[in-house]
Amino acid sequence: MPVRRALMRVGKMALVMVLAAVSTSKFVHAKFDPLDPLGQLRKKHVDVSIEVAPGDWGGADVGTIHLVLTSVAHAFLDHAKLARDDLKLRIVPRGGSPRVLYERGPEGQYVIQLTARDQRWFQYAYQFAHELCHVVANFDHRVVGDKAVQENQWFEEALCETAALFTLKRLGVVWASNPPTRDWMGYGESFVSYAGYLLNEPHRYLAENQSLRDWYAENHASLRENPYQRRKNDIVASALLPLFEQHPEYWRSIAYLNADSASAAKPFPDYLDDWHRACPDKTLAREIMMQFGFDSGGRDAPRETALRSSQFPR
């Protein structure tokens, strides 16, 4: 009996040592995520179905592209909130510029067209994250009748550029420790490098001592006329990116943008006001309204914030 008890004690000690070793191993190898320092966003993936259509993808095969895009979708959607339980996407190659179509696919999928080719995965990630953000932001709610209203689309474009930059950095962290396949160990640095390359472009930043409020006062008329002025949208994206890097949970509020199609053509302050009203957590909308010089003060923005261009303070 003494021998048996001794063996049982040795067995228990060995089990404790094994569990401790496993636990320690997980702790040691868990990479610190600067975009999620408290680990609050490590959660179950969003249910997303991605179909990659055959076509001219250069030297990349459809299955490999699917792996990359699935990783991109999770990197962004794990932070965002969807207005639906699942999401169906059909990805198609095209020339020109990437875009998401207003017309749905044969099975109700959102159709996203990408221009990335070959094995430049950083370009797939950058383009796909941008277009995916449009889907999350209810871009199709801007369609009134048979026309897509574009007066405030520039803001959505800026947010989607922000999402693309954020996702590139996020993928750098995810792929550093857990890439889709072991063959891509070390490729995460390419995502970070591409984000850095884009963010080093001088045109992406406000002039010295210029606020976003003053910049908008000078540019709001041209923004309403043409939402595809990339250099201007990039300025807004660079100004907003730090908000999401400090608070990744802010992406959940994007699902409440364009919630009401009636707001699509309103003056920009009223458009933001509608977003502010729709958001359960109003922190992000309030912060952005303040950066553009509109009053929220923790309450619904007043109607008189819909200023004419001559009323904007310089």
Residue 88 dihedral angles phi and psi, to the nearest 5°: -115, 125
Residue 92 dihedral angles phi and psi, to the nearest 5°: -130, 140
Amino acid, single-letter form, for residue 302: P
* Cα gap 246→83, rounded to integer Å: 24
* Cα gap 252→284, rounded to integer Å: 9
**pLDDT: which is higher, 117 or 303:** 117
- pLDDT of 21 reads 32
* Cα gap 310→314, rounded to integer Å: 10
User: Given pLDDT bands bounded at 50, 70 and 90, which one contains residue 296?
Assistant: low
Question: CB neighbours of 198 closer than 8 A, spacing ≥ 6?
Answer: 126, 165, 204
User: Given pLDDT bands bounded at 50, 70 and 90, which one contains residue 263?
Assistant: very high
> What is residue 257's DSSP assignment?
T
- pLDDT of 13 reads 39
* Cα gap 220→239, rounded to integer Å: 16
Q: Where are the alpha helices (DSSP H) in the chain?
A: 2-29, 62-77, 121-136, 153-177, 188-199, 212-225, 230-246, 268-278, 283-291
User: Given pLDDT bands bounded at 50, 70 and 90, which one contains residue 146?
Assistant: confident
Question: Up-side HSE of residue 78: CA atoms within 13 Å toward CB?
Answer: 20
- pLDDT of 303 reads 37
User: Given pLDDT bands bounded at 50, 70 and 90, which one contains residue 174?
Assistant: very high
User: Given pLDDT bands bounded at 50, 70 and 90, which one contains residue 6?
Assistant: very low
Residue 114 dihedral angles phi and psi, to the nearest 5°: -115, 150
Instruction: Give the residue from 213, 251, 212, 276 showing the smallest Cα distance to 82.
Output: 251
The percent of residues in the chain predicted with pLDDT above 90, rounded, is 75
- pLDDT of 308 reads 31
User: Given pLDDT bands bounded at 50, 70 and 90, which one contains residue 279?
Assistant: very high
Q: Taking the C-alpha atoms of 244, 248, 252 and 254 in order, what is their torsion angle to the nearest 10 degrees?
A: 20
**pLDDT tens for residues 18-65?**
323 333 233 233 444 454 444 444 445 668 999 999 999 999 999 999
pLDDT of 113 over the 90 cut = yes
Domains in the chain: ranges and CATH: 48-151 (3.40.390), 155-311 (no CATH)
Span 77-86, mean pLDDT? 81
Query: Computed from CA positions of residues 25, 31, 37, 40, in that sequence, does the dihedral angle turn out positive or negative?
Result: negative
> What is residue 101's DSSP assignment?
-
Q: How far is the first Cα of the chain from the last one, in angstroms, to the nearest whole number?
A: 89
**pLDDT tens for residues 227-258?**
999 999 999 999 999 999 999 999 999 999 99
